Chain A
């Protein structure tokens, strides 16, 4: 894993901040031109991108394979739903921060038995953890709503935002777009912090532990603490993503965040590109538009979408993509892009 990920250019923090703001404003502007349905999709994609970037941090930068991120999403999701049902008027920011903190705490707890483990044992431990969430939710039904889960009100656009819309379906479009814009802003903030983390001394220590833990210890890095921090941060991001997703869909059940989701996150992360910020964004976009992609494939190849083959096409396509990516292009889409640009640049440099 080490040889795959090295640091590229390091911009100063101030320009990173400006870049993030500019990008966020551009995305928000784009939401104004999209349909309500597309806005809802993008919102979901933004939330997933946040979780992917946290997973990328854990697996890519700190070298620990975890299959338990859906569990942390569940923690963030349930905390959000329980809190929103009891304190409906809290500003969104507070709820999101609360969920992030709870996710981090969860990460610390999981890190306790896990940071001594390597490779498959770690994967097994995190897998077992992700399986613990549903039983716990089911066993405290008065708190978690049991099997039926919890429901909360959808994010409603504030009055001043609604005022920007008129005509038919104004209310619907306003609400859909508000959720997309909130998601984009939250994702921008989360990505900004992640970019800073990667380039900080913590990030460097993380990479050192990943590549050569003996050298790291000799250099005075505390292995346990570094690995635990990696878990905690990754879990915090998952909690934030789960919280945002809950606010967007208005519900959380024990089945929402389970093993298939962990596997999907892994898939999207690999497809986008492990350890890259842009890869996480690509992963989020793929999540939003995977069904459109499959419809395109159906139309292009003439497969009937309601036939048994057409219905399962999505799973087959994703599985094949994942296998092909790992065999042929392990750095994902972003990695392929970088290879292409460096191939284009190379002749110029050599001449």
Chain B
């Protein structure tokens, strides 16, 4: 009897405690910090933006991209900011969403999602600017959309960022892999007519889209020559090696003379070396994702064809290049941000990653400037489709209500040998005109024009 009473007493008291806790929580919640209508991340003097980028782990080579953007924001802040607001750019390490292989972020098994949640709920960012990685960003699209946070200038060539109806606050930056491949196809048809073409692509959307673009561009590729590598093997080097040996042996046996690679830099390097061991020397055509000579770092890359969206970093007369050098030197002198720029064999050599990052930072500042004093998310999204951007790219950057991809093309380039032939190359040189597509996929034409490089806005100089 007493036991039963005791039990009832426990239940009642726990229920009472719970109910009061719940009511307290609800009451406190409704008097939450900040007025209901204020734009998140914006005050009179600052605007807070964030990005989830690989600062460590197997894609840490891309850390320079957002570091360059941060340098640009820092430079703009030093001149008083945009319309009197300083830009607070928070970069969170998401290790390319792979919590292994040297990742120092310590944020659990889904780094991108966790860091995104932190940016949104703790840092209260106005928008994400320049987050990187196809798979990484795919995993947070629904979350950002659900919580109405704009995701701008996503660093990836996937077409997933071009879905204006489903994700109106989502904007890409670089041309889609399909567009890039269509342009490659046109070059191959013109310069290597009749050649047997093969591909090695990453076994996910990146590779699949690249292949689709080549086919849409009119190339015929035998299915035996359409090869892939399993991206999961990035963490299993021995399996990856076996796979690549397999793929390249097949291509060699089939007398392929042009090989298109949709791979990331460490894989590109592996492929070039294994091909050398197999005495296989086709014409390499490498996607921008995996062709940066400073990342691939092997003399075997010399002579490969790739694409670039920005003027060659070797062109010292280009005003944007000179401006970028000034900005990087003025950045808070943290040499870990640009590990190869300040010391080592490639000191003083700008690389494409830096131009890329600076480009989207400049675009963000220009859109922000157009809004004047009153900054809202809705206003910013509108500005994205109306502002005429002036960034260092070879083709214009523009968005419309129906197109959120971003840049639509670039120039074909070739990797040139280092002055010391046994050292890895440092530059790509432009070949021919700027090529861009007038839309994304099957029904687009390729337009060929002389490269246009817009001038630097005076307030930025």
Contacts from A to B (Cβ < 8 Å): 15, 18, 22, 25-26, 28-30, 32-33, 35-37, 40, 44, 134, 138, 146-149, 151-154, 156, 164-173, 175-176, 249-251, 253-256, 260-261, 290-291, 294-295, 305-306, 308, 310-314
Contacts and interface: CB of A to CB of B under 8 A. Distances in A.
A37 B118 contact: yes
B117 A29 contact: no
A314 B109 CA distance: 13
A177 to B, nearest CB: 9
Interface stretch (B135-143, B188-196, B348-356, B417-425): B135-143
Given A146-B204, A166-B36, A32 B22 contact: yes
Given A29-B22, A36-B121, A250-B139, 18 more contacts: A22-B15, A25-B18, A28-B22, A29-B18, A36-B117, A147-B204, A149-B135, A153-B142, A154-B146, A164-B26, A165-B32, A167-B31, A168-B38, A169-B121, A251-B110, A291-B107, A294-B106, A311-B106
A295 B106 contact: yes
Contacts of B113: 249-251
Contacts of A173: 29, 32, 121
B242 interface: no
Interface in B20-35: 21-22, 24-26, 28-35
Interface string B30-58: 11111110101000000000000000100
A311 B30 contact: no
B122 interface: yes
Contacts of B143: 154, 250
Interface centre among B19, B29, B230 (most CB of A within 10 A): B29
Contacts of B449: none
Contact of A165 (B30, B98, B142, B202): B30
Nearest to A21: B11
Interface residues of B, number: 61
Nearest to B23: A32
A33 B25 CA distance: 5
Contacts of B147: 171-172, 175
B1 interface: no
A260 B109 CA distance: 10
Given A164-B26, A175-B147, A295-B106, A250 B203 contact: no
Given A36-B121, A138-B230, A167-B32, A311 B102 contact: yes
Contacts of A168: 32-36, 38, 40, 124
Given A32-B29, A151-B139, A291 B204 contact: no
Nearest to A175: B146
A195 B202 CA distance: 47
A17 B35 CA distance: 43
Nearest to A15: B7
Given A153-B146, A164-B26, A311-B106, A172 B33 contact: no
A26 B14 contact: yes
A40 B117 contact: yes
A237 B312 CA distance: 57
Interface string B108-134: 111001100110111010000000001
B231 interface: yes
B110 A154 contact: no
A28 B11 CA distance: 15
Contacts of B18: 25-26, 28-29
A173 B98 CA distance: 27
Contacts of A153: 142, 146
A28 B17 CA distance: 12
A178 B26 CA distance: 13
Given A25-B15, A147-B231, A151-B142, A255 B34 contact: no
A249 B110 contact: yes
B121 A35 contact: yes
A85 B7 CA distance: 46
A134 B230 CA distance: 11
Contacts of B98: 255
Nearest to B103: A311
B345 interface: no
A266 to B, nearest CB: 16
A22 B142 contact: no
8 contacts: A29-B21, A148-B135, A151-B142, A176-B121, A253-B135, A256-B110, A305-B104, A311-B103
B23 to A, nearest CB: 9
B282 to A, nearest CB: 25
B460 interface: no
Nearest to A172: B147
Nearest to B105: A311
A167 B121 CA distance: 13
A256 B36 contact: no
In the A-B complex, the 7 residue pairs with the smallest Cβ-Cβ separation, listed nearest first, are A32-B25, A167-B32, A311-B104, A168-B34, A29-B18, A147-B204, A29-B21
Contacts of B139: 151, 249-251
B205 interface: yes
A65 B139 CA distance: 33
A306 B60 CA distance: 13
Contact of A255 (B120, B124, B232): B232
B199 to A, nearest CB: 16
Contacts of A151: 138-139, 141-142
A152 to B, nearest CB: 7
A343 to B, nearest CB: 26
A147 B31 CA distance: 45
Contacts of B110: 249, 251, 256
